[in-house]
Amino acid sequence: MSDWKFTNEKDRVQLVTKPKSTLRLTATRLGSVLGMNPYSSEFRAWCEITRTWKEPFVDNKYTIAGKVIEPIIIDWCKQKFGEGVVSPHDFYGNRFHEVNYNFYTEASKVFGGMWDAKIITSKNKTVAVIEIKTSGRPQDWVDHVPYEKLVQALMYGHLEHASTTYVAVAFMTDDDYAHPERFVVKENVNFKLIPFDTENTLLPFNGVEYNISDLMDYANTWWNQYVVKGISPLFDEVLDKQILKELRLQRPDETDASLAKIIIDVQNVKEKLEKIRQENNVAELEKQLSDGKDAIKREMTKLLNDDSTKIEIGNWSLSKNSRTVIDKKSLESDGILDKYTKTSVSYTLKEKENKNVNN
């Protein structure tokens, strides 16, 4: 991870030392940089690119379904367009795993990533790029392709000098996510293949429409302003909540890094536990359990006579304990309390509410 600090303005992050290498501005991050992704931000993209912060990747039903369905859609495209359709493995052969998830190491120092499929001529000239998506929300695609996904596809089309860019989207049901291997492409039913003119398609940005070339020029300027200079764009307390929580835990007062990691781990466990409590209504069950135990204790106390110290009924037992206490007032009045008083040290750990982060 990069060495960094909060700036004096408290709304940006500055690199203390530049990382040995930065990550590329992938097509996924391009949508974040342009403010088109409702689930991400340019600050998040900057943190990932500069290795200041990155969310650990964990496979879920959506990513797993995408991996399974992608070759199904590529096979369907081969039937539609012919053998000119190639996957990365088809195109690169055994070198596919050597490119380190970036097909543009020589072509660009800023942009990078991998296309899903493309259509090539017999001389390996790219005529079209196919960007494959899965979605469980067909309502998001009624009026137009979500812009963060369209700009992603067009970026690869631009880098490949392809005249046409296709967005291929499979609309998923719960059963599809549970068994993606069973997915059958039915065009205009559960699947759409949408063509775009790569260089002439316009997308809205800052109230004006731009083509992909213009948008990538802006991204280049963004790169020079923030990545090269090492100072982040402004962060958003709501959209960047997760990142800021972790960064602030790491650097509340330049906290020791090992302690910061422990604090973050504890915080993550707390959040997971709270999620489980909410999903399973644990608080209500705990209240019922506590009330029940109090009722058992109350009724068993009635059955315990003066000579008894313990009673057992089923799995429950109630013990009566006596302890001797010191009469401090009497000792104080006799003037000997201080003589027999010792100082002991204990430590109390409390967690204060972080008012800088929305909870």
Tell me the mean pLDDT in the region 33-53: 95
Whether residue 218 has pLDDT greater than 90? yes
Q: Is the pLDDT of residue 227 over 70?
A: yes
pLDDT at 261: 62
Q: Given a cut of 50, is residue 315 above it in pLDDT? A: yes
- Using DSSP, state whether 309 is helix, strand or coil: coil
Pull the structure tokens for residue 64.
């797993």
Write the CA distances from 305 to 150, 275, 311, 317, 319, integer angstroms: 79, 45, 10, 14, 12
Percentage, residues of the chain above pLDDT 70: 90
- Is pLDDT at 256 greater than 70 in this prediction? no
**Chain centroid to CA 302:** 55
* Token code pair at residue 7: 């700036």
238 pLDDT above the threshold of 70: yes
Structure confidence by residue, pLDDT tens digits, 122-154: 898 999 999 999 999 999 999 999 999 999 999
Q: Is the pLDDT of residue 56 over 60?
A: yes
pLDDT of residue 358: 39
Q: What is the mean pLDDT of residues 168-195?
A: 96
pLDDT at site 254: 46
> Are 19 and 2 within 8 A, CB to CB?
yes
* pLDDT tens digits, one per residue of 150-171: 999 999 999 999 999 999 999 9
Average pLDDT score over residue span 197-226: 97
Percentage, residues of the chain above pLDDT 90: 52
Sequence ranges of the domains in the chain: 58-233, 282-330
Mean pLDDT of 286-296: 89
Residue 258 pLDDT > 70: no
**Alpha-carbon gap, residue 18 to 38, rounded angstroms:** 29
What confidence score (pLDDT) does residue 359 get? 36
Domain 58-233 has CATH 3.90.320.10: yes
Q: Give yes or no for a contact between 244 and 6, defined as CB atoms under 8 angstroms apart.
A: no
* pLDDT for residue 213: 97
Specify the amino acid at residue 321: N
Per-residue pLDDT, 355: 44
More confident call, 62 vs 333: 62
174 vs 179: CA distance, rounded Å: 9
- Would the pLDDT of 239 be above 80? yes
Q: Of 280, 316, 223, nearest to 33 (Cα)?
A: 223
Q: What is the pTM of this model?
A: 0.70
| 3-class DSSP assignment, residue 320 | coil
